[in-house]
Structure 1
Amino acid sequence: MKNSEMSGSSPFKMRLVHLDLKGAPPKVSYLSEVFPLFHALGANGLLLEYEDMFPYEGHLRLLRAKHAYSPPEIKEILHLATLNELEVIPLVQTFGHMEVYYLGEGEASRQWLQQEHNTKARLCLSHIKAVACHVLARHPTTRPLVWDDMLRAIPEDQLSASGVPQLVEPVLWDYGADLDIHGKALLMEKYRKCGFLRLWAASAFKGATGASQALTPTEHHLRNNMQWLQVAASGPSDMLQGIVLTGWQRYDHFSVLCELLPVGIPSLAVCLQSLLHGGFAEGVKAKVENFLGISNLEITDFISEGAGTFPGSDILALVTHVSLHLRSSVDTLLERDRYVTGWFSPYHRRQKLIHPVMVQHIQPQALSLLARWSTWAQQLEAALHRVFYPDAVEEWLEENVQPSLRRLQGLLQDLREAVSPSPHAGQDP
């Protein structure tokens, strides 16, 4: 079925899936598996945030990540996108979080701001204009898009006079499950009055509910996308070009990884299909279950384990199991088991004191728990290696698996030392 036929009931002509590559970038082999799924679910474009995965040359070469895609791989990604009727929009940082947050703090900017009539808003607009003009001079048919957060507060007259509305198209973003629909409609009207001809919306399907979030709260994202449908219905309909479903992978380069792409795919499926059909009715739920190979999709709770046949569903099942049970099972043993709390407390562990009989009540349990989780960890590691590069696998396991395993290993080590203390322990000097 062609995308044009599919988007019959959707107010968003373009539905873009955002790939944030500044953390856990997928291997090209995985992209070749998920692009057909994106297309089948109703996506017709990609917002590709290359970040340090782009094979920069010359003086920008130092920006390359260790496992950056090679030029042939970039060509392959673009080819795969074309095969799956996904238009690619590259997302290039000109203003990143750092420039914007500290706008006007540099020496040159400070001096400029001291001159009459100069404001941070004007400084921001002049930069946007300079970048847009530079892009359009080289690529006259390109339409630059900009995130709208810096434009929201700028007064209408300043925006209109800047010339920016003739050069760029704002992307109105809001990832909240309770966004202000009326406020968004007013904002769209403001942009229309300033001279912007086209607008875009941006929702989220993952990576927007917590910097260290491991499992995707699907219901939150469904509500967010449903509210964007209401915004589309209440604003000037001809202006909205499409919606970007963002899937952040880190909040910034210095934060931890949030939900991995395969973990967020059921949420993406629910959101795309709901945008396409105007809601998440029972029939839409059945369609999503069919696309993902999930027998019973659970949107209010985390998906039942061992579910799905979509690419990366093994990662979802394993990550779900680890996230829901690993820490809690170790906590239960270390902090609630009566033998550990009663006969091998932190004090006993430091003193290397234990009644020999008590070892039999603690050691087998700890060994069996460690063995069980080590097996799960090995399966997860193997599954992650199929999709991600080694540094991402190491980082995810180090953050989410190793701390609990180390606590178990520490308990067992202390038990061994308490049972066979060093030869001089406890002797008077």
Structure 2
Amino acid sequence: MAAGGLRRRLVHLDLKGAPPRASYVVEVLPLLRALGATGLLLEYEDTFPYAGALEPLRAQHAYSAEEIRAVLRLAKAQGLEVVPLVQTFGHLEFVLKHKEFAHLREVKTFPNALNPHKEESRALVKAMIDHVMTLHEDLKWFHIGCDEVYYLGEGEESKQWLQQQENTPEKLCLSHIKAVANCIASSYPTVTPIVWDDMLRGISEEILSESGVPQLVEPMIWDYAADLDVESKGHHLKNHLQWLKVASHSPADVLQGIALTGWQRYDHFSVLCELFPVGIPSLGICLQALKNGGYSEKVKENVEKLLGMSNLETDTFMSTSLGTFPGSNILTLVTQVSFYLRSSIDELLERNRYVTGWFSPYHRKRKIIHPIIMHHFQPDAVSLLSKWNAVVQDLQAAMEQVFHKCTIDEWMEENVHPSLQKLQQVVDDLDKAIKAQS
């Protein structure tokens, strides 16, 4: 363990968007270990094989119990500690969107936060925790979420409760966290609950210690700032270097470790963020920097060697050269699509004077085309279309190895179809105009 590094380094797998197939997770675990991970923070959301009354929570692509056991077995063999994460307060869209559980919402119309006053809410949370616990052995930690509990205190029952003297939204928040933590303490006495810290940040030390919550939970402090206004992937590295600074100024053992969060969606209803294989180079650099207590050329070389990448661009972490790590072909093809798909099509359709001057929407609608002008851009349009169709076909095949169909469809509809359909439409309109001329 290098001086200045952080001893616990958990890689967060957020499974509420683009969950990789279990076979891919198994393939990638040894790499995460080699890069410097010591554990996994597994946020199951709707991919857990909930059964019985909780079956509606399961997504179509949920893992089977056997798949989860296989992942956990390998994690153990690799020496990776596993911390499951189950949201128990806010971010409960995956539960509260279902009609069977909608009556447990804090605010009737919003499916994000749980009503903390209902006995049934606590029973639901306990059932979810129990389901997940049954598949996990030897757990030391269990993350109960509790971040971003929006609209807390705004439900009808909360409003009545808050009218009583002494009652405050802070106390309401703390009492629910305490109930969940107690539920774990009584059923699983050797497991410590972890909570995100944001709902606790504004609460005075006095109220916190009176509540008894600090004795029951371990807070996980989150902050993504890099103290620099950058929007590049290098931002993540700078953020981790800041955390190393915090660790070096903290008394030993105050900071247990760090979790490297990789969000696949910001919430259950939002669009996909970055695909996991595309984030691996950035994750690798951050893990190595945390393991080695800082960033250096040596860290960069280690990561390049482990990923089989010749030159890692630490500003964008995008790469058109092939690596050898699992899913690296997805990174290469996604890089091509992200950097060149839209720009190459816009270049042709919006900046080519033959298209803008002689085949405008007006001409296209009326199937008017000058036969000579056609030769100036039809071959370009057709070859660009076939080039991108080939790239997209390769990407589709690469993604099928790692993701389920619903993820591939969503990614393609968001990132590929808008531009590709525009180009396809122009090629089709050209054909129609030519036919109309003959």
TM class by smaller structure: 0.7 to 0.9
Name the residue aligned to 2:131.
none
Of 53, 60, 70, the match for 2:54: 60
Q: Is the 8 A contact 1:179 1:227 kept in 2?
A: no
Secondary structure class of the residue paired with 2:363: helix
Q: Is the 8 A contact 2:319 2:331 kept in 1?
A: no
Counterparts in 2 of 1:9-408, with a 5 A limit?
9-97=3-91, 98-99=112-113, 100-178=149-227, 217-408=232-423
**What are the superposed Cα offsets for residues 126-156 of structure 1, whole Å, 9 maximum, x if unpaired?**
0000000011110000000000000000111
Q: Distance in 1 between matches of 2:267 and 2:319?
A: 30
Q: TM-score, normalised by structure 2?
A: 0.85
Following superposition, the deviation at residue 411 of structure 1 comes to 0.6
Q: Distance in 2 between matches of 1:58 and 1:301?
A: 45
Percentage identity across paired residues of the two chains: 62
**What are the superposed Cα offsets for residues 395-425 of structure 1, whole Å, 9 maximum, x if unpaired?**
11111111111001111122122223399xx
Give the gaps of 5 or more residues in structure 2.
Answer: 92-111, 114-148
Distance change >3 Å, CA 117–CA 422, structure 1 → 2: farther
**What are the superposed Cα offsets for residues 317-354 of structure 1, whole Å, 9 maximum, x if unpaired?**
00001100000000000000111011111222223221
Cα RMSD of the aligned pairs, angstroms, is 1.7
Q: Which stretches of structure 1, 4 residues or longer, exceed 6 Å deviation after superposition?
A: none
Name the residue aligned to 1:189.
none
Following superposition, the deviation at residue 75 of structure 1 comes to 0.7
Distance change >3 Å, CA 10–CA 45, structure 1 → 2: farther
Give the gaps of 5 or more residues in structure 1.
Answer: 1-6, 181-207, 210-216, 424-429
Q: Is the 8 A contact 2:7 2:291 kept in 1?
A: no
Give, as a single letter, the amino acid of the residue that structure 2 aligns with 1:382: A
Secondary structure class of the residue paired with 1:298: coil
- Higher mean displacement: 124-133 or 7-16: 7-16
Secondary structure class of the residue paired with 2:63: coil
Following superposition, the deviation at residue 306 of structure 1 comes to 2.0
Q: TM-score, normalised by structure 1?
A: 0.87
Q: Distance in 2 between matches of 1:395 and 1:339?
A: 34
Number of positions where the alignment pairs a residue of Structure 1 with one of Structure 2: 383
Give, as a single letter, the amino acid of the residue that structure 1 aligns with 2:80: L
Q: Distance in 2 between matches of 1:159 and 1:179?
A: 32
Q: Distance in 1 between matches of 2:72 and 2:397?
A: 28
Q: Distance in 2 between matches of 1:387 and 1:24?
A: 9
Give, as a single letter, the amino acid of the residue that structure 1 aligns with 2:301: A
